[in-house]
Chain A
Amino acid sequence: MPDAKADLLQGTLDLLILKSVELGPHHGLGIAGRVEQITRGTFHVKPGSLFPALHRLEAEGWLAGEWGESENRRRARFYRLTAPGRRQLEAETRHWQRISLAMTWALAAG
């Protein structure tokens, strides 16, 4: 996997994390991998950024975490999207789409 190191703003990271658990709960490492996957290798989240973000999102109530078992029978903390979290994800997505449309127009202008 390409090891691109791009700066991620906190808000962007939050959005990516929420998106990555949209289809189901994951543990920390799994979330990092999913983010890399859905951004097609653009963003690689370091643990130093990932863990604070996860705990913050959990504190906000958008993720819910609980201990469980991983594929290879290791104890891990799994995070799933809550109902408020889903609403936040939808709101953030709409917001991003508006921004990126505006940027596209701006950059295309002569």
Chain B
Amino acid sequence: MSAISWAIRVWRNLRHRDEVERDLGDEIQSYLDLLTDEKIAAGVPPDRARRAALVELGGVEAVREATRASRAGALLEQVWQDVRYAARVLRRHTGFTAVAVLTLAVGIGANTAIFSVVHAVLLRSLPFPEPERLVFGWVQDRDGRRAFSAPDYVEFRASASAFEEVGAVFSPVIVGLSSNGRSEPARAREASHNFLAVYGLRPFLGRAFRPEEDRPSARGGQARDEATRVALISHGYWRSRFGADPAVIGRLVRLDLTPYEIVGVTPPGFQPLLPDDDDFGAEAQVWILNELDLARMPRDANFVRLVARLKRGATLGAARDEAAAFARRQRAQHALHREKGFEVDLVPLDRALTRAHSGPVLVLLGAVGLLLLIACANLATLLLARLSARERELAVRLSLGAGRARIVRQVLTECLLLSLAGAALGLALAGALLRVLPALAPASLPRVGDAGLDGLVLAFALGAAVLTTLLVGLLPALRFSQPWVADTLREAGRGHSGKAPRLGGLLVAGEVALSLVLVIGAGLLLRSFAALLRVDPGFRAEGVLTADLTLTRRYPRYPSPEKRVRFVREVSDRLARLPGVESVGLALVVPLSRQDTGHSYATEATASQDALPPAKYRPVTPGYFEAGGTRITAGRDFTWAEIETGARVSIVDEHLAHRAWPGESAIGKRLRLETWTARDGQVTLEPFWSEVVGVAEDVRSARLEREDIETVYLPYDLYAVAELSVLVRSSGDPASLAGPVRAEIARIDPELAVYHVRRLADLVSDALAPQRFSLVLLGAFAGAGLLLAWLGVYGVLAFAVGRRRREIGIRMAVGASGAQIRRMVLARGLSLVAAGLALGVVGAMALTGLLASQLYGVSPTDGRTFASVTLMTLLVSFLACDLPARRATRVDPRIALTGEG
């Protein structure tokens, strides 16, 4: 039969179903009549003939059912029947339906939301053409992995033939952008001229940079004789700042007083997505060319982030081989690379991005998956309870010829309707969650804003619905469709078997186990977070306001170190005079921002510059330590006189003091340091000797959870760099100083961009954003899981008590006390819980290792956490068991006589 004629038949069978059924009924009836006639004709008495005919027929319904089943479209018809029946049943038990749909909505919704994040952050291919050709480059030496140094980058670019484009992107900086008289801070990023081409993109408007524009400028910010500098702006910035005006091309703006011509607009939403970026929330608004003479910079200044595009047809393996050869050549030619080791590591950009961020996100996915399992177990026990109430009805249906498959299918249909309703509601929930999650997520998580309800995510939700249908419905359905009909029908008074409680108990024990795993995980994260909060960062953030300023080389107003020192002095003095200000300090880099460059130093005792590990140089002004609350444990702070005369003095931190001069006082000792000087267009590091005048306590400057490398504090002028942070300690709320500080600085220099004005305490808090995110979400899942498990334990016990009321009544009638009954129920409940806890502890021991990378100060198998969480869960479960136990003691013994089931 062809598909079309089959379809026509199905349609006809469904449309004229009543007619078809009637015909069939008539036909079977006529068969019966004819058979009866035959028997009568053979001499059998009429009534016996009739009965014999019926027996021979084998049951009218059975024959009808058999014929129906073989009809075209029978399956569809049955499924439709199942659906209607299921809908009727669900409508009748609104309580169960509501609980089930809500539980499923929460479970499926949470899973869908987290999966959407996983999809956006880890799975989705990068939003560039042919993203598999994008490669990121790391340099590996004995101190770890880092960005390229400038000369290495230049040399690599010249030698690499497997790549179509090799480009560089640099860290973001803030510049003051002035246009049409308005000046405001803008986030700028330097890059090589071909940065868009590396990503396979073309500008949205205008043009990209030209190779000839990408040249170093003369050092010292001298005016360039030739063409003006050029810049690209981002699509978003073009819309917000320039009103999406196409005439922006060719417009002249000023970045920190230096004129730039806008020549193009980058494509919408463009982000370089570098794996070692830490803030994906704020896009770069202005793209400019780097002006350093990269080839002549020091070989140990690692600040060039290398991104490259493979030639079509070139393999990553071939590129890696080339890179290895390059590394060999570099090691042969440069002593620095020989001593510290030098390898080039090329990684596909998407893999590098994923590797950097997958840990915490996948843990969340696992946790939310466990939550769904718990929800399914809960619903399965509920379903078991309901089905056991319908045992008699099911047994009768089985005896009438409904196959086991039919019953299973019908129960599964009920579950499917519940799951689909739950999924629909869950999608709404997920949509709401996804609107909120990107705001809560740490800025260090890339592409979170892309998380939405797209095709794959919807398919996931549907798949989750099907999976929950099977998980919830299959076991109960199989349990209750077994043909032990005879048993059930014979026992007229009792309407139950012992099967449901056992399976229900197993499920609940499983629920308890899973929820214990979740709560232990949350507990570990909580202790880790608390430990982080207790870390002494080496500064006192309370009451301090911080602000950032940029005086880059491009800023012609402060071209010389003397001018910069004078500016800094004026800022310091003026701000110190503001009411409510206790102290003011300026420095390059404020605690907890990220800067990893270190320089070598030596003491009088160590001859070679490399004997001691590198230290950070931190230029500061007098008052910086006081403003930041960092104690000076020996010696003294700098004086302004030392700053202004360029005295060669330094303050070291305790870490360095102990390493360089163990057991002695560091005061008065001398350090050989180095400084960059520009000479004839060459930038070199020149050594000089400096006397130690003070020792300060250690400061955690990069991350709270990692100790810093040692630090040497230098007087500001020695390193008169242009990106500064201001710390202002106030006697009251630092936020109230924000306006006055801005105003005061504006009085000194009206066009200077002042940005990131905020409480230092907020900066510290932001640094913990990733940990807080994981903790909050995992805590929410754990709480929900525990609640569900609690409900599960309570439900199973309450149900068991309800069914054994007659037995309880008998016991009480023959003299059992209420306390004994209560003990009996409690024992049953607690044994379930204990089994679940034991299983949960084992499971947690196996699984918490996955959290190890996120934990600080606490091991994944921390005994205290395990013990206290388990105890707490036990106590909570005790309450869940006690309520039904008490109810059991209130059973009226007369039930033993009335015989209620």
Binding site for A on B (CB under 8 A): 1, 9, 23-24, 26-28, 30-31, 33-35, 37-38, 56-58, 62-63, 66-67, 69-72
**Taking A27-B30, A27-B34, A29-B35 as contacts, is the C-beta distance between A47 and B57 under 8 angstroms?**
yes
**In the bound complex, do residue B67 and residue A29 qualify as a contact, i.e. CB atoms below 8 Å apart?**
no
B34 A52 Cβ-Cβ under 8 A: no
Q: Which residues of B contact A39 (CB under 8 A)?
A: none
Known contacts A52-B70, A59-B72, A75-B26; A47 and B31 CB within 8 A of each other: yes
The 7 closest A-B pairs by CB, nearest first: A52-B70, A51-B67, A29-B34, A76-B30, A77-B27, A52-B67, A28-B31
Does residue A55 face the partner (Cβ distance < 8 Å to B)? yes
The CB with the most chain A CB atoms within 10 A, among B9, B24, B37, B67, is that of B67
How close is A95's CB to chain B, nearest CB, in angstroms?
19
Which A residue sits closest to B30, measured CB to CB? A76
A90 at the interface (CB under 8 A from B): no
Cβ of A40 < 8 Å from any Cβ of B? no
CA distance A94 to B60 in the complex (A): 37
Q: Are A59 and B9 in contact (CB under 8 A)?
A: yes
A51 surroundings in chain B (CB, below 8 A)? 24, 27-28, 63, 66-67
A1 to B66, CA, bound (A): 26
User: A108 → chain B, closest Cβ, in Å?
Assistant: 38
Interface residues of chain A: helix, strand, loop or mixed (majority): helix
With both beta carbons as reference points, the residue of chain A lying nearest to B65 in the complex is identified as A48
Measured as residues with beta carbon below 8 angstroms from the partner, the interface class of chain A is 20 to 34
Q: Report how far A72 CA is from B30 CA in the complex, Å.
A: 12
Chain B residue, CB-CB nearest to A76: B30
Point out the residues of chain A lying under 8 angstroms from B9, CB to CB.
59
> Which B residues are in CB contact (< 8 Å) with A60?
1
Residues of A contacting B34 in the complex (Cβ-Cβ under 8 angstroms): 27, 29, 70, 74, 76
- Which residues of A in the span 22-38 have a Cβ within 8 Å of any Cβ on B? 27-29
The answer to whether B58 touches A55, judged by C-beta atoms less than 8 angstroms apart, is: no
A74 touches B37 (CB 8 A): yes
Establish whether residues B63 and A48, one from each chain, have CB atoms under 8 Å apart when the complex forms. yes
A47 CA to B30 CA in the complex, in Å? 12
B31 and A29 contacting across the interface, CB-CB below 8 Å: yes
Pairs A–B under 8 Å by Cβ, sample size 27: A27-B31, A29-B34, A29-B38, A46-B58, A47-B57, A47-B58, A48-B58, A48-B63, A48-B66, A49-B66, A51-B24, A51-B63, A51-B67, A52-B66, A52-B70, A55-B70, A56-B70, A59-B71, A61-B1, A70-B30, A72-B37, A74-B33, A74-B34, A76-B30, A76-B31, A76-B34, A77-B30
Closest A residue to B9 by beta carbon equals A59
In the assembled complex, how far is the CB of residue B883 from the closest CB belonging to chain A, in whole angstroms? 53
Closest to B70 in A: A52
How many Å from the CB of A11 to the closest CB on chain B?
14
Residues on the B chain within 8 Å of A76, using CB: 27, 30-31, 34
**Residues in B whose Cβ lies below 8 Å from that of A29:** 31, 34-35, 38
Taking the closest CB of chain A, its distance from the CB of B269, in whole angstroms, is: 59
Out of A46, A59, A70, A74, which one reaches B1, CB within 8 Å? Answer: A59
How many angstroms from the CA of A59 to the CA of B9 in the assembled complex?
8
A60-B1, A77-B30 known; A55-B35 Cβ under 8 A: no
Residues in B whose Cβ lies below 8 Å from that of A56? 70
Residues of chain A with a CB closer than 8 A to B1's CB = 59-61
Q: Measured between alpha carbons, how far is A49 from B382 in the docked complex, in Å?
A: 40
Chain A contacts of B31 at CB under 8 A? 27-29, 47, 76
B146 CB to nearest chain A CB (Å): 75
If A47-B56, A52-B69, A56-B70 are given as contacts, then 20 extra A-B residue pairs at C-beta distance below 8 Å, sorted by A number, are A27-B31, A27-B34, A28-B30, A28-B31, A47-B57, A48-B58, A48-B63, A48-B66, A51-B24, A51-B27, A51-B28, A52-B67, A59-B1, A59-B9, A60-B1, A61-B1, A70-B30, A72-B37, A74-B30, A74-B34
